[in-house]
Structure 1
Amino acid sequence: MTYVPEELLPATRRALLHRLAVAQSEGRAPSVVAAVVRGGRTVWEGSRTSVEGHGPDGGVQYRVGSITKTFTAVLVLRLRDEGLLSLSDPLEKHLPGTTAGEVTIAQLLCHSAGLAAETPGEWWERSSSALRPGLAEVLGEEPFRHEPGRRHHYSNPGYTLLGSLVEAVRGRPWEEVLRTEVLEPLGLDRTSAHPQAPHAGGWAVHPWADVLMPEPLEDLGLMAPAGQLWSTTADLARFAVFLARGDDRVLSARSVREMRTPAVPAEAGSPQAGYGLGLQVLDEGGRVMFGHSGSLPGFVAGLWVSEADDLAAVVLANCTSGLPASGVAVDLVRIVAEAEPRIPEPWRPLPVAEADPAVVAITGIWYWGTSPNVLRLLPGGELSLGPVGPVGRGARFRSGPDGTWIGLTGYHAGECLRVVRRADGSVEHLDLGSFVFTREPYDPEAGVPGGVDPQGWRGLDQ
């Protein structure tokens, strides 16, 4: 039977509360609220506040800033999955008339379009959206800082373009599309474009004195798809489960896996391992995590998921700076993962439908030249090919047309793996993008490019 995670141990719960309390105290945040998800459900919630007896809970809204971008990316991937656009399409094809029409939708999603990080003019997060009534004001006269496709450069205007793209294709406002296509199906009824009581107020805390002042609350207008949303830890916990598992009512597991696959490397010196399609990817000491950080004047936020540990954490605080919400969320995942490691599912034989004898027959050791590799049949019907030792290229494959297999990861992503058979139907070798894999090193009976020396393997005369 499937292992259902029990409640966290008291020592783990105390360690989580201690980390949150230290963050609130040292970060001097008016309030902070957090949640940890394990096995698809919330197993811990905590909060700290500067006001006696008024601690927030999982139903109090905070502004989540750039976590909004992940929601916008989900909407774009839905359009792709419906066949209404391709990620390789230039923006101009679906949103004509901008000064950035040459960039592709994929480049906008992964911040490699070369666009400026911010809008021209006043700081958009703290000024009226009336200053940016159209995309011309969002982009300015010189929208590019780099050649499209050459490097990762985080761009808030890029996600404004994606929100306008959604509106152009759907023919409805971004906020309405988000509500009907994502928020309502996932049951995120406390996530909204504008604050709904109960919600936290945003504060700026003086850097050198324990005093504070309220931050202005601006409607971001066209910039909303880059950072407008308000949400709660309870809603974001459910959203984290969706990002880990998918939900066919919104986006398939395959598409959310694509979102969290790095599409571009991070900037040099960045702690990120890369950026996917609307999701940041971190490598924290060998623990790969995906999610997003967020900040707007008065608020900081972090949502991070470790698929391998089946854990996620959400942290929200109402201060402009001081409390590293993303770092705290990562720490909460680490605390649980180290204190209570995930118990693996029991091994089970494959179901009959996935145990194709012809596929089972090609598993085992295959040699690329002299390098041994293992081909394995995985649950779900995928194949994995990887080196026997620590050096070599690994990849997963899904079945394709005509008995071929299509690479999903690594160097061989998108490449075709073919089983080459002799006239009698027996397997001669595997062909992977012109690489020949044989059952023996340089098998003379297989079609090894360049042929095999007829004298075969031999020692060296002394």
Structure 2
Amino acid sequence: MDALSEDLELLPSTRRALNHRIAVAQSEGRAPSVVAAVVRGGEVVWEGSRTSVEGHGPDGDVQYRIGSITKTFTAVLVMRLRDEGLLALSDPLGKHLPGTGADEVTIGQLLAHSAGLAAETPGEWWERTPGAQRPELADVLGEEPFKHAPGTRHHYSNTGYTLLGSLVEALRGKPWEDVLRAEVLEPLGLHRTSARPQAPHAGGWAVHPWADLMMPEPAEDLGLMAPAGQLWSTTRDLARFAVLLARGDERVLSARSAQEMRTSATPPEPGLADLGYGLGLQLADQRGRRLVGHGGSLPGFVAGLWLSEADDVAAVVLANCTSGLPPSTVAADLLGIVADAEPRFPTPWRPFAETDRVPLELAGVWYWGTAPHALRLKADGSLELGPVGVTGRAARFRAEPDGTWTGLTGYYAGETLRAVRREDGSLSHLDLASFVFTREPYDPQAPVPGGVDPQGWRGIG
């Protein structure tokens, strides 16, 4: 173990701050009970709970309904279908699930809530009515399913995730619940996550807004709407799920696809999606810290899950009240307490291995026109390109089997970088999305677009 390796055990002062935060949340939010967990380094490092109702003493094994966090599970199933080549995110829904009345929207738009579909179903409040009252997709979408032109803005849509659940069923030939259990829950060991409550589980309560009184809420089976909000889970199971979202797990979803889910796929929507929205994941900023996760609510329950990739910390909060306690805010606060009090140790620098093939001739300064850029080779096989002493575009690149590199960040995300060689095999220049980078400013030996003045560089006569 390195001398500076991070100890996962939290300091007593940090644990007290976490306990105090959920105590305040439960008291001020007037929640019958609240349970929370914090994950660091892929492990649960803290669990806490508060309750004031006999028979509702929670811990990390007690189920609560998680509402719209269910959508992120559904999104993982869709990404698995994409990774297997059974669909593309750019495919219109009608290619795989025709006749819904939303054939033209793309699967990616549905994942990112940019398909323009209505937020809710027509008719009664679907979260408090049995799913049997919506036996067909037509009953979910209604006669006027669109509120906006597809692809023009972020508009959160529960009905869109009903379509995605039906898409999963169409391509797998099995019920959504069975597919979820076989492909996500069982491989990750999420044995306390289920479509229906399994003891021990909390009861859902409505708390009177102006009196300290409670009333039980119904726990309806959502039917076709299940992929949008059906699941029950625990803080321990959701902690494991947060690790999947942060790191990937080859049994379920690759790290690359998990990263794609965490990347904004829609323009920002002020007040709703200030940083945009990923593929089944909400994005948020907490005092300059980028958070990824999802919130959830159904009558009687609220839930929040956030992770910070930079800090390698995640937090989960579950409570059994219809309103009052803001779970996403509390989860963000718990995450921030740990990240601020006990900052993450940076990954130790390591050199290339002796057996690595290192394209050293690529390293160093390159010029785009007259702007110098430095290209650095990383031991993980990636490249980093950034301006030297001037403003410019920085990006990180992933190596590909054919000897090219694909942009991962910034302006060049998704673009291809190629090292172009002369007939004798020597390195001529770099081609990046049609931009020519040369070893000297406007190198006359390289094919600079527009050519280079034959008189070269000169002063004023």
Supply the AA of the counterpart residue of 2:350: R
Superposition CA RMSD, Å: 1.7
Q: Which residue of 2 aligns with 1:322?
A: 324
Give the TM-score taking structure 1 as reference length.
0.96
Q: How does 1:370-409 map to 2 (within 5 A)?
A: 370-389=370-389, 391-409=391-409
Which residue number corresponds to residue 366 of structure 1? 366
Displacement of 1:131: 2.0
Q: Structure 1 459/25 Cα, relative in aligned 2: closer, same or farther at 3 Å? A: farther
8 A contact 2:273–2:282 mirrored in 1: no
Aligned positions of 1:36-185 closer than 5 A: 36-51=38-53, 55-185=57-187
Percent of aligned pairs with the same residue? 77
* 1:447 lines up with 2:451 in the alignment: no
Task: Give the partner amino acid of 2:451.
Answer: G
**Matches of 2:159 and 2:272 in 1, distance apart?**
21
CA distance in 2, matches of 1:182, 1:94: 22
Q: Note the alpha carbon deviations across 1:58-97, whole angstroms, 9 max, x for none.
A: 0000000010001001111111111111111111111111
| CA contact 2:363–2:375 (8 Å) conserved in 1 | yes
Q: Is the 8 A contact 1:220 1:228 kept in 2?
A: yes
How big is the shift at 1:395? Answer: 2.1
Letter in 1 for 2:434: S
Asked whether the equivalents of residues 129 and 222 of structure 1 are also in contact (C-alpha less than 8 Å), the reply is yes
Alpha carbons 1:366, 1:374 under 8 Å: kept: yes
Q: 1:195 deviation in Å?
A: 0.5
1:266-292 Cα distance to aligned partner (Å, 9 max, x none): 312335312111111122232111111
2:410 is the counterpart of 1:410: yes
In the alignment, the residues of structure 2 paired with residue 266 and residue 206 of structure 1 have an alpha-carbon distance, to the nearest angstrom, of 35
Q: Rate the CA distance shift 1:390–1:268 in 2: closer, same or farther, 3 A.
A: farther
CA contact (8 A) 2:9 2:45 kept: yes
Determine if contact 1:272/1:280 at 8 Å carries over to the other structure. no
Distance (Å, rounded) in 2 between the aligned partners of 1:270 and 1:458: 56
> Which secondary structure state, in structure 1, belongs to the residue aligned with residue 402 of structure 2?
helix
Q: 1:406: how far off?
A: 1.9
CA distance in 2, matches of 1:195, 1:79: 28
* Separation of aligned partners in 1, 2:272 and 2:393: 25
Tell me the equivalent position of 2:198.
196
- The amino acid that maps onto 2:98 is P
State how far apart, in whole Å, the 1-side matches of 2:354 and 2:137 are.
Answer: 55
The residue number in structure 2 matching 1:285 is 287
Which residue is equivalent to 2:428? Answer: 428
Counterpart AA for 1:356? R
Greater alpha carbon shift after TM alignment, 114-123 vs 360-369: 360-369
Q: After the TM superposition, which of the residue ranges 359-368 and 450-459 deviates more from structure 2? A: 450-459
CA contact (8 A) 1:5 1:38 kept: no
| Alpha-carbon offset, residue 52 of structure 1 | 6.2
274, 277, 295: which one pairs with 1:275? 277
1 CA distance for matches of 2:60 and 2:66?
14
Q: Which amino acid aligns with 1:325?
A: P
Give me the TM-score of the superposition, normalised by structure 2. Answer: 0.96
In the alignment, the residues of structure 2 paired with residue 375 and residue 39 of structure 1 have an alpha-carbon distance, to the nearest angstrom, of: 30
Secondary structure of the residue that 2:452 maps to in structure 1? Answer: coil
